[in-house]
Amino acid sequence: MDLLIKTAIEAKNEDYGTQLEFVEYVSANVTAAQGFCFYITLWAKDLSSPDPEPKLYQTLVRKFRDEMHVHEFKLKPPQQE
């Protein structure tokens, strides 16, 4: 899981110029689809932000053989009541 999270954060930082730093793993769901899709929830803080407080993020990382691709990395939407 550590490698998947590291890959996702590095991709986000490279693509968007952020300085996200991993804080804490929350949960993950895995599905098989030509490899595996990992839906990961984690806490991270953006050191380039004026408000570097940890925020909850969701990411989708697809792993096929030795390759990993980050398909999504976003703030987790607020819970609907």
Q: How many domains does the chain have?
A: 1
pTM: 0.90
Q: Grade residue 31 by pLDDT with cuts at 50, 70 and 90.
A: very high
| Mean of pLDDT values over 10-20 | 96
Residue 80 belongs to some domain of the structure: no
- Domain of 66: which CATH number? 3.10.450.10
Whether 81 is covered by a domain: the verdict is no
In this structure, is residue 19 part of a structural domain? Answer: yes
* 81, pLDDT greater than 70: no
Each residue of 50-69: pLDDT tens digit? 989 999 999 999 999 999 99
Strand segments (E) across 3-66: 20-32, 36-46, 55-64
Secondary structure of residue 77 in the 3-state scheme: coil
Confidence tier at 80 by pLDDT (50, 70, 90): low
**Can you give the residue range of the structural domain that contains 40?**
2-75
